[in-house]
Structure 1
Amino acid sequence: MVDDKDRQSIDAAKLYYGSGFSQAEVAARLGLSRPTVSKLLGHALERGFVTITIHDPRERSDELVAQLTARFKLADARVVTTPAGGTLLTDLGSAGATLLEELVHDGMTVGLSWGTTMCSVSEHLRQLPLQGVRVVQLKGGHSHSERSTRDMETMRAFARAFNATTELLPLPVIFDSAKAKDWVTRDRHIAGILELGRSVDLAVFTAGAIAPESLALNLGYLSAAETQEIMDHAVGDVCSRFFTRTGTIAAPDVDARTVGITLADLKGRPTRVLVAGGAEKTQAIRVALEMGLATHLVIDQQTAQRVLDL
């Protein structure tokens, strides 16, 4: 429902953003005060009547892009530069969303992981007039702790942006036993979603660091001994599959209890977008790229240089 404030904010936005008038000029044309116009422009942004996209040519033309694509045989890479006072997560989310808007088209199946980076990507997606898109959850995301995976929130935002239907996995990603996991995944509905995840046209995911505060280690799935095993042997995870420095599975018993796409199945998808950054993720990103898990990469400048220097 569009109310009077919405209408005024749209009129103000058209004059300010579309016609290039100053806020004072907009105020004079609409018979309002300049502070009121400023508030209306803010309201237009909050309501989604106006979206602002920043195209940074450095994301594509930087020498780091050429080095990354050549070294890791990538189809494309975007390297973001976060200004002083900026937020890395916001920049990764914005660049990731821009790349996905270029890649997703009618009739595609899009597989999603979860986490703070993925949620940031979802928050920056614009609504596109697509048809026949299906968004598939690649792994379970229910938390047994106070930490949230934000999986449902991320799925809903992707679905809104791409005018898509969703296929949800309302399960924990790691079960207490392999037997329980096998029993649940034999369910016809769950098995169908997992099979769809294995065959998506495009997968978008992040890489997780291994640290005591890591989200994947604080969802109530793991015992203290299992957490220590992962801390001792893993350098990162993709889709909650923990891997070692050489790309092997770090905790086979935990992996056997994990519900979601395997690294082998992920690697078989035609388009695979890895969005990740930050110094603590350097080794995880490097190994994921060496394993060939990504065809497209979104990363920040400093981490990109660290990945190449390892």
Structure 2
Amino acid sequence: MAGSDTSSSPPLLPPTEVLLAASVARRFYLDNQSKVEISKEFDISRFKVARLLEAAVAQGIVEINITVPAKIDTELSAAMRRRFGLKHAIVVKVTADDPEGPEPVTEWLAPTAAQLIAKMVEPGDVLGLASGRAVSSVAEGFIKLPPCNVVQLTGVHPLKSIGADSVEAVRRAAALSGGKAYPIYAPLVLPNKLTADILRCQPGIAEPLDQFGRVTKAVMAIGAWESTLSTVYDSLTPDEREQYRRLGIVAEMGALLFDRDGMVVPSELDDRVIAVGCEQLSRIPQVIGVAGGIQKAEAIGAVLRSGLLTSVVTDSAAALHILGDSPSGEPSGEADSRPRPRRDTTDVVQEPSIWLAERAWLG
């Protein structure tokens, strides 16, 4: 109609309607209810439902993110699964035109990892989240989670904002699932064993540590033994970093140190970190590693060879580097033929919905 202003923004909602707008938005965006159904439930007109949805977006009650779906490399995914006896392997295609480096690659991996993990989690599970940028990015990608408690598996980096992000990741996942959050408000690396022992006895820290044995699914970041590529590496002194490098350390996951062959290397660091231990991690039924980038390829390969991971989400460049001369996934060479601890993967068929979902993503 001539003279009408169709571009005007919705008016600012009064405080009394903010809660109503949030409830309406939840029904529409999360519960997939129609505007007709919502209008009947709240006894308001369809016009008002539409205006409340507009206002919810305009005032930041609802945030809508548009993301480009990741392209999955089906052949590399299958090859990684075969090579390492994994339950799930998702390899995201990253082309030469895409940004390089672990942080930009993480942004490509996180949405896909979030989808996979959300489908894997079942009601009553206890979900463990390690600290790290990759895991925090995955948690940001969660839209829905079944009812489950969420436990932080490692302390935080005291000198970086990632610490706050790690705690928030646990709280966000628990809020989505309706479960209880068990964050750890303590540094990952302490100066000595005595300090670590004292902190472990504090009620606010002892409680989440007691939950480690109940974790059924864990999400772990993987670090390379270089500056900015590992929270543990960045927490140590230059002399300590070099000491561990001389021991052959190439990778770190949850403060566990790995050599090139995938062996966990015991060290005095084990006594002064707040983190899930190697034996505890090995007893968790499903452990998902999320890491990518050519700079981390050697580290990802080392952790995969340890047998601690049951699933991995990575990128094509890292996968090609890891598979080396055997892109089909068939073991080749002396190093790959040596026996290593493996998870029992015979129960893959017991999770048909997850398997079918993965096959759908893989084309």
Task: Give the TM-score taking structure 2 as reference length.
Answer: 0.67
Task: Find out whether 1:175 has 2:190 as its counterpart.
Answer: yes
| Cα distance in 2, alignment partners of residues 194 and 155 from structure 1 | 14
Aligned to 1:75, which of 84, 87, 109?
87
Q: Which amino acid aligns with 1:74?
A: L
Q: Following TM superposition, by how much is the alpha carbon of 1:266 offset from its aligned partner in structure 2, in angstroms?
A: 0.9
Runs of 4+ displaced beyond 6 Å: none
Q: 2:139 matched to which residue of 1?
A: 122
Q: Following TM superposition, by how much is the alpha carbon of 1:216 offset from its aligned partner in structure 2, in angstroms?
A: 1.4
Q: 2:114 matched to which residue of 1?
A: 97
Contact 1:217–1:227 at 8 Å: present in 2 too?
Answer: no
1:20-74 deviations in Å (ceiling 9; x for gaps): xxxxxxxxxx9xxxxxxxxx79947965465667665x53x71112211111111
| Cα distance in 1, alignment partners of residues 177 and 58 from structure 2 | 21
Q: 1:279 matched to which residue of 2?
A: 294
- Identity rate, percent: 25
Q: 1:106 matched to which residue of 2?
A: 123
* Correspondences of 1:12-31 after superposition (within 5 Å): none
| Cα distance in 2, alignment partners of residues 69 and 187 from structure 1 | 41
* Correspondences of 1:199-278 after superposition (within 5 Å): 199-217=214-232, 221-232=235-246, 233-250=248-265, 252-278=267-293
* Correspondences of 1:128-143 after superposition (within 5 Å): 128=145, 130-131=146-147, 133-143=148-158
| Cα distance in 2, alignment partners of residues 217 and 186 from structure 1 | 22
Change (3 A) 1:218 1:46: farther
Change (3 A) 1:292 1:280: same
Q: Which amino acid aligns with 2:281?
A: L
Q: Which amino acid aligns with 1:182?
A: D
Q: How many residues align?
A: 282
Contact 2:114–2:139 at 8 Å: present in 1 too?
Answer: yes
Q: 1:64 matched to which residue of 2?
A: 76
- What SS does the aligned partner of 2:211 have? helix
Contact 1:44–1:50 at 8 Å: present in 2 too?
Answer: no
Contact 2:157–2:231 at 8 Å: present in 1 too?
Answer: no
| Cα distance in 1, alignment partners of residues 68 and 55 from structure 2 | 18
1:59-96 deviations in Å (ceiling 9; x for gaps): 3x711122111111111111112354464222210011
Gaps spanning 5+ residues in structure 1: where? 20-29, 31-39
Q: 1:163 matched to which residue of 2?
A: 178
Q: Which amino acid aligns with 1:226?
A: E
